[in-house]
Structure 1
Amino acid sequence: MAGIAHSELLSAACIATLAADALRSEVWLTPKPGLVDSINNGSHCDMDLPLFLRSIDAITPWLYQFYALGQQDFLQPAQSMLMRIRPTGIACEQAMFGATQGVNTHKGGIFSLGLLCTAAGRISAHRQLMTRRGICREVAAMTQGLIERELQSCRQPVTAGERLFVAHGMTGARGEVQSGFLTLRRHVLPYWYQENNPERRSLNALLRLMAYNPDTNLVSRGGLNGLHFVQDYARRLLKKGWQKEDLQEMDRQLIARHLSPGGSADLLAIATVLMAFPP
Protein backbone atom coordinates (compact mmCIF):
# COMPACT_ATOMS: atom_id res chain seq x y z
CA MET A 1 0.00 0.00 0.00
CA ALA A 2 3.03 2.30 -0.02
CA GLY A 3 2.59 5.45 -2.01
CA ILE A 4 -1.17 5.94 -1.52
CA ALA A 5 -1.78 9.61 -2.26
CA HIS A 6 -5.46 10.41 -2.79
CA SER A 7 -8.43 9.80 -0.52
CA GLU A 8 -10.55 8.57 -3.45
CA LEU A 9 -8.26 5.55 -3.70
CA LEU A 10 -9.15 4.56 -0.16
CA SER A 11 -12.13 2.63 1.08
CA ALA A 12 -13.21 1.44 4.50
CA ALA A 13 -11.83 -1.98 3.55
CA CYS A 14 -8.46 -0.48 2.65
CA ILE A 15 -7.79 1.44 5.85
CA ALA A 16 -9.24 -1.26 8.09
CA THR A 17 -7.17 -3.89 6.32
CA LEU A 18 -4.04 -1.77 6.71
CA ALA A 19 -4.68 -1.52 10.45
CA ALA A 20 -5.47 -5.21 10.91
CA ASP A 21 -2.45 -6.23 8.84
CA ALA A 22 -0.27 -3.94 10.96
CA LEU A 23 -1.46 -5.71 14.12
CA ARG A 24 -0.72 -9.12 12.59
CA SER A 25 2.70 -8.01 11.37
CA GLU A 26 3.53 -6.73 14.84
CA VAL A 27 2.64 -9.95 16.65
CA TRP A 28 4.49 -12.17 14.14
CA LEU A 29 7.61 -9.97 14.24
CA THR A 30 10.44 -11.88 15.95
CA PRO A 31 12.39 -11.50 18.19
CA LYS A 32 10.58 -8.81 20.21
CA PRO A 33 12.14 -8.31 23.66
CA GLY A 34 9.63 -8.99 26.42
CA LEU A 35 6.73 -9.35 23.97
CA VAL A 36 4.73 -12.21 22.51
CA ASP A 37 6.18 -13.33 19.18
CA SER A 38 6.52 -16.49 17.09
CA ILE A 39 9.21 -17.93 19.39
CA ASN A 40 7.93 -17.32 22.92
CA ASN A 41 5.39 -15.47 25.06
CA GLY A 42 7.84 -12.84 26.29
CA SER A 43 7.10 -11.70 29.84
CA HIS A 44 3.48 -12.89 29.65
CA CYS A 45 2.09 -16.00 31.29
CA ASP A 46 -1.48 -15.37 30.09
CA MET A 47 -0.85 -14.60 26.42
CA ASP A 48 0.51 -16.37 23.35
CA LEU A 49 0.52 -15.86 19.59
CA PRO A 50 -2.72 -17.79 18.85
CA LEU A 51 -4.52 -15.68 21.47
CA PHE A 52 -3.30 -12.48 19.81
CA LEU A 53 -4.43 -13.71 16.39
CA ARG A 54 -7.92 -14.50 17.76
CA SER A 55 -8.00 -11.04 19.30
CA ILE A 56 -7.08 -9.38 15.99
CA ASP A 57 -9.78 -11.35 14.17
CA ALA A 58 -12.32 -10.08 16.71
CA ILE A 59 -11.12 -6.48 16.45
CA THR A 60 -10.92 -6.24 12.66
CA PRO A 61 -14.66 -5.77 11.85
CA TRP A 62 -14.81 -2.85 14.26
CA LEU A 63 -11.98 -1.06 12.46
CA TYR A 64 -14.34 -0.77 9.49
CA GLN A 65 -16.91 0.76 11.82
CA PHE A 66 -14.51 3.42 13.09
CA TYR A 67 -13.70 4.44 9.53
CA ALA A 68 -17.39 4.49 8.59
CA LEU A 69 -18.22 6.67 11.60
CA GLY A 70 -15.52 9.11 10.56
CA GLN A 71 -17.04 9.34 7.10
CA GLN A 72 -20.59 9.55 8.39
CA ASP A 73 -19.91 12.33 10.91
CA PHE A 74 -17.29 14.25 8.97
CA LEU A 75 -19.23 17.52 9.29
CA GLN A 76 -19.29 17.25 13.09
CA PRO A 77 -16.66 19.20 15.06
CA ALA A 78 -13.48 17.17 15.56
CA GLN A 79 -13.73 17.59 19.35
CA SER A 80 -17.10 15.79 19.37
CA MET A 81 -15.81 12.65 17.65
CA LEU A 82 -14.21 10.94 20.65
CA MET A 83 -17.56 10.80 22.43
CA ARG A 84 -19.33 9.72 19.23
CA ILE A 85 -17.02 6.76 18.64
CA ARG A 86 -16.73 5.71 22.30
CA PRO A 87 -19.63 3.20 22.15
CA THR A 88 -17.94 1.54 19.18
CA GLY A 89 -14.68 1.43 21.11
CA ILE A 90 -16.40 -0.24 24.07
CA ALA A 91 -18.06 -2.78 21.78
CA CYS A 92 -14.71 -3.51 20.15
CA GLU A 93 -13.11 -4.07 23.55
CA GLN A 94 -15.94 -6.43 24.50
CA ALA A 95 -15.37 -8.39 21.29
CA MET A 96 -11.67 -8.61 22.15
CA PHE A 97 -12.35 -9.82 25.69
CA GLY A 98 -14.84 -12.36 24.35
CA ALA A 99 -12.20 -13.77 22.01
CA THR A 100 -9.48 -13.85 24.69
CA GLN A 101 -11.54 -15.00 27.69
CA GLY A 102 -10.97 -11.69 29.43
CA VAL A 103 -7.27 -11.14 28.63
CA ASN A 104 -6.34 -7.58 27.61
CA THR A 105 -4.36 -8.13 24.42
CA HIS A 106 -5.13 -4.97 22.45
CA LYS A 107 -6.96 -2.37 24.53
CA GLY A 108 -4.31 0.26 23.79
CA GLY A 109 -4.25 -0.69 20.13
CA ILE A 110 -8.03 -0.40 19.85
CA PHE A 111 -7.88 3.11 21.32
CA SER A 112 -5.15 4.38 18.99
CA LEU A 113 -6.14 2.51 15.82
CA GLY A 114 -9.79 3.37 16.34
CA LEU A 115 -8.90 7.05 16.38
CA LEU A 116 -6.61 6.65 13.38
CA CYS A 117 -9.32 4.91 11.32
CA THR A 118 -11.89 7.52 12.34
CA ALA A 119 -9.50 10.31 11.34
CA ALA A 120 -8.91 8.66 7.96
CA GLY A 121 -12.65 8.39 7.42
CA ARG A 122 -13.13 12.09 8.10
CA ILE A 123 -10.28 13.07 5.79
CA SER A 124 -11.62 10.82 3.04
CA ALA A 125 -15.14 12.26 3.38
CA HIS A 126 -13.71 15.77 3.09
CA ARG A 127 -11.94 14.54 -0.08
CA GLN A 128 -8.63 15.82 1.22
CA LEU A 129 -5.19 14.47 0.45
CA MET A 130 -4.49 11.55 2.79
CA THR A 131 -1.08 12.11 4.40
CA ARG A 132 0.69 11.09 7.58
CA ARG A 133 0.72 14.70 8.71
CA GLY A 134 -2.98 15.10 8.03
CA ILE A 135 -3.97 11.93 9.85
CA CYS A 136 -1.89 12.85 12.91
CA ARG A 137 -3.31 16.38 12.90
CA GLU A 138 -6.88 15.03 12.78
CA VAL A 139 -6.25 12.59 15.64
CA ALA A 140 -4.83 15.46 17.73
CA ALA A 141 -7.88 17.61 16.93
CA MET A 142 -10.30 14.85 17.95
CA THR A 143 -8.53 14.34 21.29
CA GLN A 144 -7.85 17.98 22.18
CA GLY A 145 -8.19 18.44 25.95
CA LEU A 146 -8.29 14.69 26.67
CA ILE A 147 -5.52 14.78 29.27
CA GLU A 148 -7.12 17.67 31.10
CA ARG A 149 -10.54 15.99 31.13
CA GLU A 150 -9.54 12.46 32.00
CA LEU A 151 -6.25 12.75 33.90
CA GLN A 152 -5.69 16.20 35.37
CA SER A 153 -9.24 16.39 36.72
CA CYS A 154 -9.12 12.88 38.21
CA ARG A 155 -9.60 13.08 41.99
CA GLN A 156 -9.56 9.38 42.81
CA PRO A 157 -7.42 7.39 40.34
CA VAL A 158 -8.87 3.99 39.49
CA THR A 159 -7.21 2.80 36.28
CA ALA A 160 -3.52 2.06 35.87
CA GLY A 161 -3.22 5.05 33.56
CA GLU A 162 -4.76 7.39 36.12
CA ARG A 163 -2.51 6.10 38.88
CA LEU A 164 0.62 6.53 36.76
CA PHE A 165 -0.38 10.10 35.93
CA VAL A 166 -0.87 10.94 39.59
CA ALA A 167 2.36 9.24 40.63
CA HIS A 168 4.66 10.19 37.76
CA GLY A 169 2.85 12.61 35.45
CA MET A 170 2.84 10.00 32.68
CA THR A 171 0.10 10.47 30.08
CA GLY A 172 0.45 7.17 28.22
CA ALA A 173 -1.70 6.49 25.16
CA ARG A 174 -3.83 9.57 25.87
CA GLY A 175 -0.81 11.82 25.64
CA GLU A 176 0.37 10.15 22.47
CA VAL A 177 -2.90 10.66 20.60
CA GLN A 178 -3.41 14.19 21.92
CA SER A 179 0.05 15.08 20.61
CA GLY A 180 -0.74 13.58 17.20
CA PHE A 181 1.66 10.67 17.82
CA LEU A 182 4.59 12.95 18.61
CA THR A 183 6.85 10.10 19.72
CA LEU A 184 6.42 8.45 16.33
CA ARG A 185 6.85 11.68 14.37
CA ARG A 186 9.99 12.62 16.28
CA HIS A 187 11.79 9.35 16.92
CA VAL A 188 10.50 6.68 14.51
CA LEU A 189 8.99 7.84 11.22
CA PRO A 190 12.00 9.95 10.10
CA TYR A 191 14.26 6.89 10.55
CA TRP A 192 11.93 4.31 8.98
CA TYR A 193 13.99 3.72 5.85
CA GLN A 194 17.37 3.51 7.57
CA GLU A 195 16.93 -0.23 7.14
CA ASN A 196 16.26 -1.72 3.71
CA ASN A 197 15.04 -5.11 4.88
CA PRO A 198 11.37 -4.89 5.97
CA GLU A 199 11.85 -7.14 9.01
CA ARG A 200 14.88 -5.20 10.23
CA ARG A 201 12.99 -1.98 9.51
CA SER A 202 10.20 -3.00 11.89
CA LEU A 203 12.60 -4.30 14.54
CA ASN A 204 14.62 -1.09 14.35
CA ALA A 205 11.43 0.94 14.72
CA LEU A 206 10.48 -1.12 17.77
CA LEU A 207 13.93 -0.62 19.25
CA ARG A 208 13.65 3.14 18.72
CA LEU A 209 10.28 3.09 20.46
CA MET A 210 11.72 1.18 23.40
CA ALA A 211 14.51 3.77 23.55
CA TYR A 212 12.31 6.87 23.55
CA ASN A 213 8.70 5.98 24.39
CA PRO A 214 7.75 6.62 28.05
CA ASP A 215 5.96 3.27 28.07
CA THR A 216 3.46 3.04 30.93
CA ASN A 217 3.33 -0.75 30.54
CA LEU A 218 6.96 -0.92 31.63
CA VAL A 219 6.34 1.37 34.60
CA SER A 220 3.30 -0.68 35.64
CA ARG A 221 5.45 -3.81 35.73
CA GLY A 222 8.84 -2.53 36.85
CA GLY A 223 8.47 1.05 38.04
CA LEU A 224 10.60 3.86 36.67
CA ASN A 225 13.67 1.66 37.10
CA GLY A 226 12.16 -0.84 34.68
CA LEU A 227 11.43 1.89 32.13
CA HIS A 228 14.95 3.31 32.39
CA PHE A 229 16.51 -0.15 32.12
CA VAL A 230 14.72 -0.80 28.82
CA GLN A 231 15.35 2.69 27.43
CA ASP A 232 19.06 2.57 28.26
CA TYR A 233 19.41 -0.95 26.86
CA ALA A 234 17.68 -0.02 23.59
CA ARG A 235 19.76 3.13 23.17
CA ARG A 236 22.98 1.17 23.62
CA LEU A 237 21.95 -1.28 20.90
CA LEU A 238 20.98 1.53 18.54
CA LYS A 239 24.31 3.24 19.14
CA LYS A 240 26.52 0.21 18.58
CA GLY A 241 24.47 -1.44 15.87
CA TRP A 242 22.41 -4.55 16.57
CA GLN A 243 21.90 -8.06 15.29
CA LYS A 244 19.10 -10.51 16.04
CA GLU A 245 21.28 -12.15 18.67
CA ASP A 246 21.33 -8.85 20.57
CA LEU A 247 17.53 -8.72 20.57
CA GLN A 248 17.36 -12.34 21.73
CA GLU A 249 19.62 -11.49 24.67
CA MET A 250 17.53 -8.41 25.41
CA ASP A 251 14.46 -10.64 25.34
CA ARG A 252 16.02 -12.89 27.99
CA GLN A 253 16.91 -9.87 30.14
CA LEU A 254 13.39 -8.42 29.96
CA ILE A 255 11.74 -11.77 30.66
CA ALA A 256 13.94 -12.21 33.72
CA ARG A 257 12.67 -8.84 34.97
CA HIS A 258 9.03 -9.43 33.89
CA LEU A 259 9.14 -6.34 31.67
CA SER A 260 6.97 -5.96 28.57
CA PRO A 261 7.00 -2.83 26.38
CA GLY A 262 3.39 -3.27 25.28
CA GLY A 263 2.84 0.43 24.63
CA SER A 264 5.70 0.43 22.15
CA ALA A 265 4.19 -2.59 20.38
CA ASP A 266 0.92 -0.65 19.93
CA LEU A 267 2.83 2.33 18.50
CA LEU A 268 4.70 0.08 16.08
CA ALA A 269 1.36 -0.93 14.54
CA ILE A 270 0.38 2.75 14.26
CA ALA A 271 3.72 3.58 12.60
CA THR A 272 3.24 0.76 10.09
CA VAL A 273 -0.14 2.17 9.05
CA LEU A 274 1.08 5.76 8.85
CA MET A 275 4.04 4.80 6.67
CA ALA A 276 1.63 3.53 4.01
CA PHE A 277 0.85 7.19 3.25
CA PRO A 278 2.95 10.08 1.94
CA PRO A 279 4.32 12.60 4.44
Structure 2
Amino acid sequence: MAGLPGISFAAVSSLSVPELAQQALWEEVWLTPKPGLVDSANNGSHRDMNLALFQKSIAAISPWFSVFHALGLEHVERGTSELLRLIRPAGIACEQAMYQATGGVNTHKGGIFSLSLLCTAAGRLKGQGKVINTSTLCAAVGKICNGLVERELTGARRASTVGERLYQQFGLTGARGEAESGFLTVRQHVLPYWFEETDPQRRLLTALLRLMAHNPDTNLVSRGGLTGLRYVQRYAARLLKQGWTVEDMREMDANLIARNLSPGGSADLLAVSCILTGVEG
Protein backbone atom coordinates (compact mmCIF):
# COMPACT_ATOMS: atom_id res chain seq x y z
CA MET A 1 0.00 0.00 0.00
CA ALA A 2 1.69 3.19 -1.13
CA GLY A 3 1.74 6.12 1.26
CA LEU A 4 0.67 9.53 0.01
CA PRO A 5 1.19 12.91 1.65
CA GLY A 6 -1.79 14.77 2.98
CA ILE A 7 -4.07 11.81 3.73
CA SER A 8 -6.23 12.33 6.79
CA PHE A 9 -6.33 9.43 9.21
CA ALA A 10 -10.06 10.00 9.55
CA ALA A 11 -10.24 8.52 6.05
CA VAL A 12 -8.34 5.32 6.85
CA SER A 13 -9.73 4.41 10.27
CA SER A 14 -11.01 1.06 8.93
CA LEU A 15 -7.43 -0.17 8.56
CA SER A 16 -5.94 -2.74 10.91
CA VAL A 17 -3.18 -1.70 13.31
CA PRO A 18 -0.42 -3.20 11.08
CA GLU A 19 -1.87 -1.27 8.12
CA LEU A 20 -2.10 1.88 10.23
CA ALA A 21 1.53 1.41 11.26
CA GLN A 22 2.65 1.32 7.65
CA GLN A 23 0.51 4.32 6.78
CA ALA A 24 1.85 6.20 9.80
CA LEU A 25 5.41 5.84 8.57
CA TRP A 26 4.45 7.18 5.14
CA GLU A 27 2.59 10.08 6.74
CA GLU A 28 5.57 10.94 8.92
CA VAL A 29 8.22 10.80 6.21
CA TRP A 30 6.23 12.87 3.67
CA LEU A 31 5.24 15.52 6.20
CA THR A 32 7.04 18.75 5.25
CA PRO A 33 8.64 20.87 6.64
CA LYS A 34 9.81 18.86 9.65
CA PRO A 35 12.51 20.70 11.61
CA GLY A 36 15.81 18.83 11.58
CA LEU A 37 14.24 15.72 10.05
CA VAL A 38 14.27 14.07 6.63
CA ASP A 39 11.31 15.18 4.52
CA SER A 40 10.47 15.98 0.91
CA ALA A 41 12.32 19.32 1.11
CA ASN A 42 15.71 18.26 2.49
CA ASN A 43 17.63 15.72 4.56
CA GLY A 44 17.35 17.68 7.80
CA SER A 45 20.36 17.25 10.08
CA HIS A 46 21.28 13.91 8.49
CA ARG A 47 24.18 13.42 6.10
CA ASP A 48 23.58 9.69 5.65
CA MET A 49 19.82 9.76 5.05
CA ASN A 50 17.37 11.09 2.49
CA LEU A 51 13.77 10.60 1.44
CA ALA A 52 14.56 7.80 -1.00
CA LEU A 53 16.39 5.86 1.72
CA PHE A 54 13.44 6.24 4.07
CA GLN A 55 11.10 4.95 1.37
CA LYS A 56 13.26 1.86 0.92
CA SER A 57 13.31 1.35 4.67
CA ILE A 58 9.53 1.63 5.03
CA ALA A 59 9.00 -0.85 2.20
CA ALA A 60 11.38 -3.31 3.89
CA ILE A 61 9.98 -3.17 7.43
CA SER A 62 6.25 -2.81 6.72
CA PRO A 63 5.59 -6.53 6.06
CA TRP A 64 6.85 -7.29 9.56
CA PHE A 65 4.02 -5.40 11.24
CA SER A 66 1.64 -8.25 10.33
CA VAL A 67 4.17 -10.70 11.77
CA PHE A 68 4.12 -8.92 15.14
CA HIS A 69 0.33 -8.87 15.07
CA ALA A 70 0.27 -12.60 14.36
CA LEU A 71 2.69 -13.25 17.23
CA GLY A 72 0.46 -11.34 19.63
CA LEU A 73 -2.47 -13.47 18.47
CA GLU A 74 -0.51 -16.73 18.52
CA HIS A 75 0.77 -16.26 22.07
CA VAL A 76 -2.46 -14.91 23.55
CA GLU A 77 -2.43 -17.61 26.23
CA ARG A 78 1.12 -16.83 27.34
CA GLY A 79 1.84 -14.42 30.17
CA THR A 80 2.21 -10.77 29.21
CA SER A 81 5.71 -10.72 30.67
CA GLU A 82 6.81 -13.35 28.14
CA LEU A 83 5.82 -11.41 25.03
CA LEU A 84 8.93 -9.25 24.72
CA ARG A 85 11.11 -12.34 24.66
CA LEU A 86 8.82 -14.06 22.17
CA ILE A 87 8.76 -11.18 19.68
CA ARG A 88 12.44 -10.25 20.02
CA PRO A 89 13.65 -12.56 17.19
CA ALA A 90 11.13 -10.94 14.83
CA GLY A 91 12.27 -7.52 15.99
CA ILE A 92 15.89 -8.38 15.21
CA ALA A 93 14.91 -9.74 11.80
CA CYS A 94 12.91 -6.58 11.07
CA GLU A 95 15.92 -4.44 11.97
CA GLN A 96 18.11 -6.58 9.71
CA ALA A 97 15.65 -6.04 6.85
CA MET A 98 15.94 -2.29 7.46
CA TYR A 99 19.74 -2.36 7.48
CA GLN A 100 19.83 -4.46 4.32
CA ALA A 101 17.55 -1.99 2.54
CA THR A 102 19.48 1.07 3.71
CA GLY A 103 23.03 -0.19 3.42
CA GLY A 104 23.50 -0.24 7.18
CA VAL A 105 21.86 3.11 8.02
CA ASN A 106 19.55 3.25 11.05
CA THR A 107 16.46 4.96 9.68
CA HIS A 108 13.69 3.38 11.78
CA LYS A 109 15.07 1.42 14.73
CA GLY A 110 13.10 3.48 17.25
CA GLY A 111 9.99 3.28 15.12
CA ILE A 112 10.30 -0.49 14.78
CA PHE A 113 10.41 -0.78 18.57
CA SER A 114 7.29 1.28 19.23
CA LEU A 115 5.21 0.14 16.27
CA SER A 116 6.02 -3.54 16.75
CA LEU A 117 4.73 -3.26 20.31
CA LEU A 118 1.49 -1.68 19.13
CA CYS A 119 0.99 -4.39 16.52
CA THR A 120 1.75 -7.15 19.03
CA ALA A 121 -0.64 -5.60 21.55
CA ALA A 122 -3.36 -5.38 18.88
CA GLY A 123 -2.95 -9.07 18.06
CA ARG A 124 -3.17 -10.00 21.73
CA LEU A 125 -6.29 -7.89 22.25
CA LYS A 126 -7.91 -9.47 19.20
CA GLY A 127 -7.14 -12.93 20.53
CA GLN A 128 -8.69 -11.98 23.86
CA GLY A 129 -11.81 -10.71 22.13
CA LYS A 130 -11.28 -7.21 23.50
CA VAL A 131 -11.99 -3.90 21.81
CA ILE A 132 -8.99 -2.22 20.22
CA ASN A 133 -8.81 1.48 20.96
CA THR A 134 -6.33 4.01 22.32
CA SER A 135 -6.92 3.06 25.92
CA THR A 136 -6.66 -0.71 25.50
CA LEU A 137 -3.67 -0.54 23.14
CA CYS A 138 -1.65 1.74 25.41
CA ALA A 139 -2.50 -0.32 28.47
CA ALA A 140 -1.48 -3.52 26.70
CA VAL A 141 1.85 -2.05 25.57
CA GLY A 142 2.51 -0.83 29.11
CA LYS A 143 1.90 -4.33 30.48
CA ILE A 144 4.13 -5.94 27.86
CA CYS A 145 6.94 -3.53 28.79
CA ASN A 146 6.41 -3.63 32.55
CA GLY A 147 9.81 -3.54 34.26
CA LEU A 148 11.69 -2.93 31.00
CA VAL A 149 13.49 0.22 32.17
CA GLU A 150 14.63 -1.44 35.38
CA ARG A 151 15.86 -4.56 33.59
CA GLU A 152 17.62 -2.93 30.65
CA LEU A 153 18.67 0.49 31.94
CA THR A 154 18.79 0.55 35.73
CA GLY A 155 20.53 -2.80 35.88
CA ALA A 156 23.15 -2.01 33.24
CA ARG A 157 26.59 -1.75 34.88
CA ARG A 158 28.46 -0.43 31.88
CA ALA A 159 26.74 1.54 29.17
CA SER A 160 27.05 -0.44 25.93
CA THR A 161 24.39 1.49 24.00
CA VAL A 162 23.51 5.17 23.57
CA GLY A 163 20.28 4.60 25.49
CA GLU A 164 22.14 3.12 28.46
CA ARG A 165 24.67 5.94 28.44
CA LEU A 166 22.01 8.65 28.39
CA TYR A 167 20.13 6.95 31.19
CA GLN A 168 23.25 6.76 33.35
CA GLN A 169 24.21 10.37 32.59
CA PHE A 170 20.83 12.10 32.64
CA GLY A 171 18.21 9.58 33.80
CA LEU A 172 16.50 9.62 30.41
CA THR A 173 14.54 6.44 29.70
CA GLY A 174 13.95 7.10 25.99
CA ALA A 175 11.75 4.82 23.91
CA ARG A 176 11.74 2.13 26.61
CA GLY A 177 10.29 4.48 29.20
CA GLU A 178 7.73 5.87 26.79
CA ALA A 179 6.52 2.37 25.90
CA GLU A 180 6.44 1.24 29.53
CA SER A 181 4.30 4.29 30.36
CA GLY A 182 1.82 3.33 27.64
CA PHE A 183 2.96 6.29 25.51
CA LEU A 184 2.09 8.81 28.20
CA THR A 185 3.63 11.74 26.34
CA VAL A 186 1.36 11.09 23.37
CA ARG A 187 -1.72 10.59 25.53
CA GLN A 188 -1.14 13.73 27.57
CA HIS A 189 0.21 16.21 25.06
CA VAL A 190 -1.02 15.16 21.61
CA LEU A 191 -4.26 13.19 21.60
CA PRO A 192 -6.42 15.68 23.56
CA TYR A 193 -5.58 18.39 21.00
CA TRP A 194 -5.56 16.31 17.81
CA PHE A 195 -8.73 17.68 16.25
CA GLU A 196 -8.18 21.33 17.16
CA GLU A 197 -6.60 21.63 13.71
CA THR A 198 -8.88 20.79 10.77
CA ASP A 199 -6.22 20.73 8.06
CA PRO A 200 -4.53 17.27 8.05
CA GLN A 201 -1.00 18.55 7.41
CA ARG A 202 -1.26 21.34 9.96
CA ARG A 203 -2.68 18.81 12.46
CA LEU A 204 0.39 16.60 12.05
CA LEU A 205 2.85 19.49 12.27
CA THR A 206 1.14 20.81 15.38
CA ALA A 207 1.32 17.34 16.91
CA LEU A 208 5.04 17.20 16.07
CA LEU A 209 5.58 20.57 17.74
CA ARG A 210 3.73 19.38 20.83
CA LEU A 211 5.94 16.32 21.00
CA MET A 212 9.08 18.40 20.51
CA ALA A 213 7.98 20.72 23.30
CA HIS A 214 7.38 17.94 25.85
CA ASN A 215 9.30 14.82 24.83
CA PRO A 216 12.71 14.34 26.54
CA ASP A 217 14.06 13.22 23.16
CA THR A 218 17.24 11.18 23.55
CA ASN A 219 18.10 11.80 19.88
CA LEU A 220 18.43 15.49 20.67
CA VAL A 221 20.45 14.85 23.82
CA SER A 222 22.75 12.48 21.95
CA ARG A 223 23.52 15.20 19.39
CA GLY A 224 23.38 18.37 21.46
CA GLY A 225 23.28 17.44 25.13
CA LEU A 226 20.68 18.81 27.49
CA THR A 227 21.32 22.25 26.01
CA GLY A 228 20.17 21.03 22.61
CA LEU A 229 17.10 19.36 24.09
CA ARG A 230 16.05 22.50 25.98
CA TYR A 231 16.65 24.67 22.94
CA VAL A 232 14.24 22.59 20.85
CA GLN A 233 11.67 22.26 23.63
CA ARG A 234 11.57 26.02 24.23
CA TYR A 235 11.54 26.77 20.50
CA ALA A 236 8.59 24.43 19.88
CA ALA A 237 6.70 25.75 22.91
CA ARG A 238 7.15 29.31 21.68
CA LEU A 239 5.77 28.52 18.23
CA LEU A 240 2.77 26.76 19.76
CA LYS A 241 2.06 29.71 22.02
CA GLN A 242 2.36 32.43 19.38
CA GLY A 243 0.75 30.50 16.54
CA TRP A 244 3.01 29.19 13.81
CA THR A 245 3.22 29.52 10.04
CA VAL A 246 4.86 27.24 7.50
CA GLU A 247 7.61 29.82 7.20
CA ASP A 248 8.20 29.52 10.95
CA MET A 249 8.67 25.78 10.50
CA ARG A 250 11.11 26.30 7.65
CA GLU A 251 13.08 28.73 9.80
CA MET A 252 13.12 26.26 12.68
CA ASP A 253 14.29 23.59 10.25
CA ALA A 254 17.23 25.77 9.21
CA ASN A 255 18.10 26.55 12.83
CA LEU A 256 18.08 22.91 13.88
CA ILE A 257 20.14 21.90 10.86
CA ALA A 258 22.69 24.59 11.75
CA ARG A 259 22.96 23.05 15.23
CA ASN A 260 22.94 19.44 13.95
CA LEU A 261 19.81 18.66 15.97
CA SER A 262 17.26 16.08 14.91
CA PRO A 263 14.17 15.23 17.03
CA GLY A 264 13.98 11.64 15.82
CA GLY A 265 12.31 10.40 18.99
CA SER A 266 9.46 12.83 18.49
CA ALA A 267 9.13 11.71 14.87
CA ASP A 268 8.68 8.13 16.12
CA LEU A 269 6.02 9.29 18.59
CA LEU A 270 4.24 11.14 15.80
CA ALA A 271 3.81 7.81 14.02
CA VAL A 272 2.50 6.34 17.29
CA SER A 273 0.06 9.27 17.53
CA CYS A 274 -1.24 8.57 14.03
CA ILE A 275 -1.91 4.93 14.88
CA LEU A 276 -3.68 5.75 18.14
CA THR A 277 -5.93 8.30 16.49
CA GLY A 278 -6.46 5.94 13.57
CA VAL A 279 -7.89 3.16 15.73
CA GLU A 280 -10.37 5.66 17.16
CA GLY A 281 -11.50 6.78 13.72
TM-score range, shorter chain: over 0.9
Change (3 A) 1:3 1:101: closer
Query: What residue identity is the alignment partner of 2:28?
Result: E
Return the TM-score normalized by structure 2: 0.95
Deviations 1:42-93 (A, max 9, x none): 0000000000000000001111100000011111111110010000000000
The share of aligned pairs that are identical, in percent, is 60
Q: Mind listing any 5+ residue stretches in structure 1 that lack a counterpart? A: none
Q: Distance in 2 between matches of 1:4 and 1:97?
A: 29
Would you say the 8 A contact 1:32–1:251 is kept in 2? yes
Matches within 5 A, 1:252-263: 252-263=254-265
One of 82, 85, 88 as aligned partner of 1:83: 85
Q: Distance in 2 between matches of 1:53 and 1:78?
A: 33
The corresponding residue for 1:61 is 63
Structure 2 residue matching 1:219: 3-state secondary structure: helix
Structure 2 residue matching 1:277: 3-state secondary structure: helix
| Structure 1, 206-215 or 124-133: larger mean CA deviation | 124-133
Shift of 1:34: 0.1
Return the TM-score normalized by structure 1: 0.96
Q: Mind listing any 5+ residue stretches in structure 2 that lack a counterpart? A: 1-8
Q: Distance in 2 between matches of 1:250 and 1:97?
A: 30
Q: Distance in 1 between matches of 2:150 and 2:12?
A: 35
Alpha-carbon RMSD across the aligned residues, in angstroms, is 1.4
Structure 2 residue matching 1:31: 3-state secondary structure: coil
Q: Distance in 1 between matches of 2:280 and 2:94?
A: 29
Q: Distance in 1 between matches of 2:80 and 2:134?
A: 17
Query: What residue identity is the alignment partner of 1:241?
Result: G
Deviations 1:70-119 (A, max 9, x none): 01111111111001000000000000000000000000000000000000
- Matching of residue 177 in structure 1 with residue 179 in structure 2: yes
Q: Distance in 1 between matches of 2:44 and 2:57?
A: 17
Matches within 5 A, 1:95-106: 95-106=97-108
- Matching of residue 222 in structure 1 with residue 224 in structure 2: yes
Q: Which consecutive aligned stretches of 4+ in structure 1 deviate over 3 angstroms post-superposition? A: 1-5
Count of aligned pairs: 273
Deviations 1:185-216 (A, max 9, x none): 11111110110000000000000000000000
Matches within 5 A, 1:125-136: 125-136=127-138
